[in-house]
């Protein structure tokens, strides 16, 4: 049982026609390609790795919808009873944030369930799975042997795409010259994309001109170039 007293919550995602489309090029190309080939994963399992804010959850939900998989988080596994996990009825399973520090035993139980039932499983985390959990040793060795797909560090094209998305979520529309300017100069991390979009909201002119776009980077302590 979970701390709230309810059963372990499993989501069964379906593709929403208005959901933001996957970015399948640039930094995401290899990861999306690996996820789409899920029927051919060695041992029916794959680890998706990417830094914070890289978009792992979107890819995990996409795969869960495509494969008809149930979706659970590492935090939920951390609070679940082992026999509760062992009794789950799933044909495929996606585990987001499987590197949650308290999820080791629950993760092992979930992997055992999928192995015993021949169910494919996708897990996600911020670093390669060999470094997620040191105990139990059986889990550590199995994670170390798991094939891995990486969301690469952002390139200019993918940064620009993500920046447009983040701005659209805030009802901001930037001219192309501002998007290109910011994408070429922003810090190379996925977390920086959201920080820039937040700063645009706070900056006079909202990056509708290059002068305002420069002020955005200056406000974040980044080199405006």
Same domain, 126 and 35: yes
- Single pTM value for the model: 0.90
In degrees, rounded to 5, the angle at the alpha carbon of residue 23 between the alpha carbons of residues 100 and 50 is 25
pLDDT mean over 159-184 = 94
Residues in contact with 94: Cβ distance below 8 Å, sequence separation at least 6, in sequence order: 60, 61, 63, 64, 67, 69, 70, 71, 72, 121, 122, 123
Same domain, 120 and 97: yes
Q: Which helix (H) or strand (E) holds 26?
A: none
Per residue in 54-103, pLDDT (tens digit) is: 999 999 999 999 999 999 999 999 999 999 998 888 999 999 999 999 99
Q: How confident is the model at residue 16 (pLDDT cuts 50, 70, 90)?
A: low
Same domain, 78 and 170: no
Same domain, 84 and 160: no
Any domain includes 15: no
Same domain, 172 and 136: no
Full domain range(s) for residue 194? 156-219
**Residue 121 has what pLDDT?**
98
The two structure tokens encoding residue 9: 């919550």
DSSP SS3 for 101: coil
Q: How confident is the model at residue 5 (pLDDT cuts 50, 70, 90)?
A: very low
Domain count, the chain: 2
């Amino acid at each position: 049982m979970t701390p709230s007293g309810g059963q372990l919550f499993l989501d069964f995602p379906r593709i929403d026609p208005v959901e933001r489309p996957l970015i399948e090029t640039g930094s995401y190309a290899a990861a999306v390609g690996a996820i789409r080939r899920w029927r051919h994963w060695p041992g029916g399992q794959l680890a998706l790795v990417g830094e914070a804010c890289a978009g792992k959850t979107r890819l995990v939900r996409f795969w869960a919808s495509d494969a008809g998989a149930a979706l659970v988080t590492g935090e939920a596994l951390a609070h679940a009873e082992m026999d509760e996990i062992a009794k789950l009825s799933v044909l495929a399973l996606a585990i987001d944030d499987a590197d949650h520090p308290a999820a080791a035993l629950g993760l092992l139980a979930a992997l055992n369930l999928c192995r015993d039932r021949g169910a494919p499983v996708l897990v996600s985390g911020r670093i390669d799975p060999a470094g997620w959990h040191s105990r139990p040793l059986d889990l550590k060795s199995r994670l170390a042997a798991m094939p891995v797909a990486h969301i690469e560090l952002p390139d200019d094209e993918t940064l620009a795409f993500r920046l447009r998305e983040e701005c659209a979520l805030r009802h901001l529309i930037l001219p192309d010259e501002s998007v290109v300017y910011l994408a070429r100069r922003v810090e190379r991390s996925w977390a920086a994309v959201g920080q820039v979009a937040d700063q645009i909201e706070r900056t006079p002119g909202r990056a509708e001109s290059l002068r305002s776009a420069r002020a955005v980077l200056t406000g974040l302590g980044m080199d405006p170039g």
